[in-house]
Amino acid sequence: MLATEQMSRVLIVGQRDLMAPVITELQRQRLFHIEAFVEDEREENEGFRIGVPLEGAGETSERLLRIRSITAAFSVRPEDFSPAKRVRESELKAEIEQGLPAIEKEVKDLLSGRTDLENRGKELDQKIEALAPFADMPVDLALLRGYENLTFFSGYISKKLEPAVPHDSFYSETKRGRLLVLAVPAAYRQDIERKLLDAQFQAVPIPDEEGTATERMDEYRAQREQVQTELAGISGKLEDLRKKHSEFLVACDELLSLDAERSEAPLRFATTDHAFIAEGWVPTHLAGTLRERVLAVTDNRVFVADQEADREKDHPPIEFDNIDFAKPTQLLMDVYSRPKYTEVDPTLFVAIAFPIFFGLILGDVGYGVVMLVASFVLRRFLKGFEEAGMLLTVVRNCAVSSIVFGFLYSEFLGFAIPGLDSTLPSRHLNIGVTDHGYVHDPAIPELLIMTAWVGIVYITLGRMLGILNYARYGHGSHKVIGILANVGWIMVMWGILFMLWSAFPMPLMPDLTGFPAIIGGFSIPFIIGAVLLVVGTVFIVRESVLELVELPTVLSHVLSFARLMGVGLSSVAIAMVINFITIDLMIKPHLEQFSIIGVLFILFGILVFIFGHLFNIVLKLLIGGLQCLRLNYIEFFTKFYKGGGEKYNPFGMKRRFMED
């Protein structure tokens, strides 16, 4: 309870020829978190070297690379498949030996054929483009070249040119501008070139073709179409192959990945010439199973030792140990940091508090129902994504909490629920509501005090967990000082509260102003508060004088919980404004005076109503979620939690297509 999984250090020692079966077994178990061996100068590491990959590692990697190139060409991902039945590794291996080379060749041929055709298509496109300007010319293009005494110019020109030399010209209007084809005697070539330059002539080469441009273009277009058909044929064949083989390929990918993972495992072991040592971590309650299985596959020829991790000295990887309800919240813990081995695991409290905070912010029955439905619908689409599933479970819990608090606040899409008074302080603001027959009266001071109470309780809880931390894992004088410092923080907070209660009457808080003054004009509660404050401060100072700087956080962190009210009020305000604009200003008046334009207004009003509220939900889901997270991370965790534990990541990838 409130602690991470108890871990054991496991040592496996054996002859090198037993390494492969041991690795295979470890991979199958998915329990053993390998602690990588580091070659260094330390005495106990003398004589050990990092292991070398198992035989066949290179071949496996190469094959994996080839398979991945095919799956990339098919753009298939393992997530797209939900295998109906799992295959046995040995069977698939045989299939790979037989089937894979053929598939590979087929795909390779098709792909190279496709590339050739694509290049051919591009070539044709270029030719057609080069011919296009000459489409209007009724002359065989072969006639425009190969003369000794004639020079041809062709290109775009903005105005017509009348050179004072013997010439023949042809103009045509094309898409890119006016095309000029000019024939002059070769003797005037330089003269004409200068003139053309002045007229900003852009030369276009005359295509090296036989026949008129139109004829050639028609022929090339026909060829282009042919290429297109062939390409479609190849795509079709590839698609067929994809349909036929992609599941097999993905399974091969998994098999080879497993192989590669196995072959590379020795890189994390310590080895000598004849033996290997694998060191790692296993949850203590599973250490026995692991040992039995490893011994079984090696006929008791390896040595397996396990020892419970020492909470003070060891730094094992961290695996959460939570009840099912709190498990999805581990995701939120991982965003911050996993607990250290010597730390209380607060996941359970976060799992409870997070939805409550969220409900306090977005307490609205309508919004809660929308979120609940959304979380179930999204779950359908996001099957197979573990983290998304966890997040959706958190959202679901928040949605349920929203509905509950919606009833407590009496809110439905910003309206008051008819006939239901709000149990909690009312958040109904006075926004365009006078003609609904009731006048709202938001209880802001009460809301403020209510959120402050949430803060007081939660921060006290945090400090109590701090005490638990020291009580469990501290030692010596440090333990006592640490515990007292946390007690001191609680005393300071409650001392200030007592002093406030005795000075001011506040709603939702005990009123201690009535006590008579006795010593120096101060009443008993005030004196109790002052004593708590002073003694608490002394406890804090005993741990560290620097902590005095943190004293104002007693107030600021409690007041920080006012965001539960602030963000909540803003969501209520937006909802009420949407309702006012759409219902009171657009829909209602036009329902009373019916007209064609009125119908449009009503439809538009309904649209704004729907999208406005959806927008508000999304906005508050983000902001509310972030604020609740922050209240946990900053106001709660800073009291006792540091984090920084390494994630327990057992050796062995997850199998989806292979049998275990």
Partner 1 sequence: MAVEELGLMTLEMVEASQLGMKAIAAALAVSLTGFATAWAMQNIGSAAVGATAENKDVFGLVLLLTVIPETIVIFGLVVALLLIF
CB 222 within 8 A of CB 152: no
Check binding of 282 to partner 1 (CB under 8 A).
no
Q: Which is nearer to partner 1, 142 or 626 (CB)?
A: 626
Check binding of 439 to partner 1 (CB under 8 A).
no
Residue 515 CB, nearest approach to partner 1 (Å): 25
Which range, of 72-80, 240-248, 552-560, 586-594, touches partner 1 by CB under 8 A? 552-560
CB 180 within 8 A of CB 153: yes
Check binding of 602 to partner 1 (CB under 8 A).
no
Q: Which is nearer to partner 1, 456 or 524 (CB)?
A: 456
Among 337, 393, 460, 513, binds partner 1 (CB under 8 A): 337
Residue 351 CB, nearest approach to partner 1 (Å): 17
Check binding of 646 to partner 1 (CB under 8 A).
no
CB 22 within 8 A of CB 298: yes
Local structure of 310: helix, strand or coil? coil
Among 298, 322, 397, 560, binds partner 1 (CB under 8 A): 560
Residue 443 CB, nearest approach to partner 1 (Å): 8
Number of residues this chain uses to bind partner 1 (CB under 8 A): 21
Check binding of 444 to partner 1 (CB under 8 A).
yes
Among 566, 581, 589, 604, binds partner 1 (CB under 8 A): 566
Nearest of 393, 377, 402, 396 to residue 324 by alpha carbon: 393
Residue 653 CB, nearest approach to partner 1 (Å): 21
Check binding of 518 to partner 1 (CB under 8 A).
no
Taking the C-alpha atoms of residue 533 and residue 555, their distance in angstroms, rounded to an integer, is 13
Q: Which is nearer to partner 1, 449 or 617 (CB)?
A: 449
Half-sphere exposure of 625 (CA within 13 A, CB side): 17
Check binding of 556 to partner 1 (CB under 8 A).
yes
Q: Which is nearer to partner 1, 56 or 507 (CB)?
A: 507
Residue 572 CB, nearest approach to partner 1 (Å): 13
Q: Which is nearer to partner 1, 116 or 441 (CB)?
A: 441
Among 448, 491, 527, 628, binds partner 1 (CB under 8 A): 448
Please report, as a single letter, which amino acid is at residue 343. E
Among 377, 559, 610, 618, binds partner 1 (CB under 8 A): 559
Check binding of 315 to partner 1 (CB under 8 A).
no
Among 445, 518, 600, 618, binds partner 1 (CB under 8 A): 445
Cα–Cα–Cα angle for 144, 148, 154, rounded to 5 degrees: 35
Taking the C-alpha atoms of residue 180 and residue 135, their distance in angstroms, rounded to an integer, is 13
* Radius of gyration in angstroms for the set of CA atoms belonging to the chain, rounded to a whole number: 39
Nearest of 10, 38, 21 to residue 267 by alpha carbon: 38
DSSP codes joined into one string, 620-657 = HHHHHHHHHHHIIIIIIGGGT----BPB---SSPPPSS
Can you say whether residue 146 is alpha, beta or left, with left for phi > 0 and alpha for psi between -120 and 50 degrees? left
Local structure of 178: helix, strand or coil? strand
Residue 627 CB, nearest approach to partner 1 (Å): 8
Cα–Cα–Cα angle for 8, 12, 16, rounded to 5 degrees: 160
Taking the C-alpha atoms of residue 330 and residue 353, their distance in angstroms, rounded to an integer, is 14
Q: In what order do the strands lie in the sheet with 177-185?
A: 168-174, 177-185, 150-156, 202-203
Check binding of 331 to partner 1 (CB under 8 A).
no
How many CB atoms neighbour CB 595 within 10 A?
9
Q: Which is nearer to partner 1, 216 or 338 (CB)?
A: 338
Q: Which is nearer to partner 1, 220 or 409 (CB)?
A: 409
Helix (H) or strand (E) segment spanning residue 14: strand 7-15
Q: Which residues pair with 379 in a beta bridge?
A: none
Give the dihedral of Cα atoms 50, 56, 57, 62; nearest 10 deg: 160
- Please, what's the b/e burial string for 2-28 (b: 16 or more CB within 10 A of its CB; e: otherwise)? bbbbbbbbbebbbebebbebbbbbbbe
Q: Which is nearer to partner 1, 266 or 645 (CB)?
A: 645
Taking the C-alpha atoms of residue 120 and residue 122, their distance in angstroms, rounded to an integer, is 5
Check binding of 531 to partner 1 (CB under 8 A).
no
Token couple for 121: 């298509």
Can you say whether residue 30 is alpha, beta or left, with left for phi > 0 and alpha for psi between -120 and 50 degrees? left
Q: Which is nearer to partner 1, 132 or 444 (CB)?
A: 444
CB 504 within 8 A of CB 385: no
Residue 445 CB, nearest approach to partner 1 (Å): 6
Which range, of 2-10, 76-84, 305-313, 334-342, touches partner 1 by CB under 8 A? 334-342
Helix (H) or strand (E) segment spanning residue 208: none
Residue 583 carries which DSSP code? I
Which range, of 307-315, 402-410, 439-447, 571-579, touches partner 1 by CB under 8 A? 439-447
Token couple for 199: 């007229």
Q: Which is nearer to partner 1, 164 or 335 (CB)?
A: 335
Taking the C-alpha atoms of residue 554 and residue 463, their distance in angstroms, rounded to an integer, is 11
Residue 96 CB, nearest approach to partner 1 (Å): 35
How many CB atoms neighbour CB 237 within 10 A?
16
Residue 386 CB, nearest approach to partner 1 (Å): 18
Q: Which is nearer to partner 1, 18 or 452 (CB)?
A: 452
Q: Which is nearer to partner 1, 45 or 556 (CB)?
A: 556
Touching partner 1, residues 45-74 (CB under 8 A): none
Residue 566 CB, nearest approach to partner 1 (Å): 5
Check binding of 453 to partner 1 (CB under 8 A).
no
Q: Which is nearer to partner 1, 287 or 454 (CB)?
A: 454
Touching partner 1, residues 608-637 (CB under 8 A): 626-627, 629-630, 633-634
Q: Which is nearer to partner 1, 417 or 629 (CB)?
A: 629
Which range, of 61-69, 366-374, 437-445, 492-500, touches partner 1 by CB under 8 A? 437-445
Q: Which is nearer to partner 1, 303 or 336 (CB)?
A: 336
Helix (H) or strand (E) segment spanning residue 198: helix 189-198
Contacts with partner 1, residue ranges (CB under 8 A): 334-337, 442, 444-445, 448, 556, 559-560, 562-563, 565-566, 626-627, 629-630, 633-634
